[in-house]
Chains A and B, each alone.
Chain A
Amino acid sequence: MADQAVSQAWVGQGTRLQWLLLALAIAALLVAPAFVYPIFLMKMLCFALFACAFNLLLGYAGLLSFGHAAMFGGAAYFTAHAAKVWGWPPEAAILLGVAGAAAMGLVMGFFAIRRRGIYFAMITLALAQLFYFFCLQAPFTGGEDGIQGVPRGQLFGLFDLNQPLTIYYFVLVVFLAGLFAIWRIVNSPFGMILRSIRENENRAISLGYSVARYKLAAFVMSAALSGLAGAVKAIVFQFATLTDVDWQMSGEVILMTLLGGIGTMIGPVAGAALVVALENSLATSGFPVTIATGLIFMACVLLFRRGIVGEIQAWLDRRGARSED
């Protein structure tokens, strides 16, 4: 999004304070299962990775995909099928999910990058809906029931993922590795070219970059990482259902990113944590979740388009600029 003159301090060379905060955050995640229900934490981590992967596309390449649920839920189906029906070990099943999501990203991206802006969003939405109807009818997805009772299995034959703490630390490692990958992509020369495309596509073309290829590559990377999140989620929750490929899931990941801060490194993590926590608390209250998410959407767009982390960063920047005078 061109008007998002997002401060890039978060992703550049970290200051000592930022490294300290990062170390604190990781330490908190390491001890968190002692205080919070691990399943809830794992749900947060899966969605946080999903939102970060989505943000790679929206925040850095400026492409709003309204169809990321297809990759997220598609990978969940592939992984669940491989683990349950073929009896694959979890690491292989997850890899299959990631590969499947990347392939889907390649196809979806191939069609979608032919148009820009709003059309791009509508095309990805329509293609994801196509995949949704495919999942509804295809025999291997189990239709309305989904794939239930997926075995967690033994990771590399060594770690028993049925142990709550073992699987928690496995999910944490996957999450951190995924985040690290995104951080590396964003700060590579490739990431810089993506940003230049976001800021001014025509100028990037005139500089000789084959913009379509960069967009497609970003789409595939984002799809693969979204697939990683979906695949791990299938192993954790032991099921894959239509909910994960529904258009509302695509909306949810947009909300997480928007709420946290588009184009910030940790914004989507914060947004995902907030949305998951909100949904959890609303689930017992009887208040419809869609009303709450819809209201947050409207409030975000009208009041703080930079998201929570983006607004904090902008405030810190303003304060920094003032103290330099």
Chain B
Amino acid sequence: MTMIFGIPVQALLGQLLVGLINGSFYAMLSLGLAIIFGLLRIINFAHGAQYMLGAFIGYLLLTWGGIGYWPALIIAPLAVGLFSAIIERLALSRLYKVDPLYGLLFTFGLALVLEGVFRYFFGVSGQPYAPPPLLAGGTNLGFMFLPVYRGWIVLASLVVCLGTWFAIEKTRLGAYLRAATENPSLVQAFGVNVPLLLTLTYGAGAALAALAGIMAAPVYQVSPLMGSNLIIVVFAVVVVGGMGSVLGAIVTGYVLGLVEGLTKVFYPEASSIVIFVIMALVLLVRPAGLFGKDA
């Protein structure tokens, strides 16, 4: 067996793949956080709960309605996006004029409620969710065994991330979004419906989290707590990358996922804290974050 630094190559590649998959979710979630923060100036603490909600909707569609993975991939984000847009209209929109910390606290409360409700009905243990038949099984790449579903996640998340980046940087709606991020009142004066744009942005960010959630369902188990531990790591990712750039959020997500995977190979005890340690180091060297603009 081939060895690198005394580690079998197979183990190394396996952990790198796990890292890449975690990184895919970090990237998708920090991307959504960055988009929401860019326009609404609110840190969406409920992002983890919305991710969990996406996974649970997929699970419930399957167990109650017999509706499979592919329709769920559309339905779950739409449902969560709609729900979140309503929340934005009813509650968050009242908080734009006060200190942004209140937005953080409100979404924190929302996350507690959502998690509490699902914990009440489903307990804390995870529910299994099988990958769709099309993506079941695996292929032997010669140097390693690749479960098809995991390959699909990496591919799909790349497409989603780059698609979002494209939508923001190259389309008309994205241009409105970027303009409103820079100067909302001026954009409104040009006749753009900025409040609607805010609602859509929050809904889209939440839908992105739900999409990540339904994609994660076959890999991790569907549990009410699946989002809350993840979101704290994603916060650290966001601090490292800085929320100034969409591409920065994506790249930081993948890279930190890979670093975490590598740590699992070389020093497993530190794998749960390595991202937080990197965050602390980045704060020492570049307090604004790697891609950040504001200090």
Chain A residues close to B by CB (< 8 Å): 1-4, 64, 111, 114-115, 117-119, 121-123, 125-127, 129-130, 133-134, 136-137, 247, 251, 254, 258, 288-291, 293-298, 300-302, 305
Contact = CB atoms under 8 A, between A and B. Distances in A.
B243 to A, nearest CB: 9
16 contacts: A1-B101, A1-B102, A3-B99, A111-B283, A118-B100, A122-B43, A126-B276, A254-B105, A288-B120, A290-B113, A291-B113, A294-B108, A294-B114, A294-B116, A297-B112, A302-B106
Chain A CB count within 10 A is highest, among B99, B105, B114, B287, for B105
B291 interface: no
Given A118-B101, A300-B105, 9 more contacts: A1-B99, A118-B37, A122-B236, A126-B239, A130-B277, A291-B120, A296-B109, A297-B109, A305-B98
Contacts of A130: 273, 276-277, 280
Interface string B1-44: 00000000000000000000000000000000000010000010
B67 interface: no
B99 A123 contact: no
Given A126-B279, A137-B269, A294 B113 contact: yes
B69 interface: no
A123 B236 CA distance: 7
B102 A298 contact: no
B115 interface: yes
B77 to A, nearest CB: 23
Contacts of B235: 122, 125-126
B196 interface: no
A300 B108 CA distance: 12
B52 interface: no
Contacts of B284: 111, 114
Given A122-B238, A247-B232, A301 B106 contact: yes
Given A133-B273, A134-B273, A296-B109, A301 B95 contact: yes
Contacts of B99: 1-4
Interface string B215-240: 00000000000001000110110110
A298 B91 contact: yes
A59 B235 CA distance: 24
B110 interface: yes
Contacts of B94: 302
Contacts of A290: 112-113, 115-116, 119
Contacts of A136: 272
A115 B109 CA distance: 24
Contacts of A122: 43, 235-236, 238-239
Contacts of B114: 294
A298 B106 contact: yes
A26 B257 CA distance: 54
B24 to A, nearest CB: 20
Contacts of A300: 105
B239 A115 contact: yes
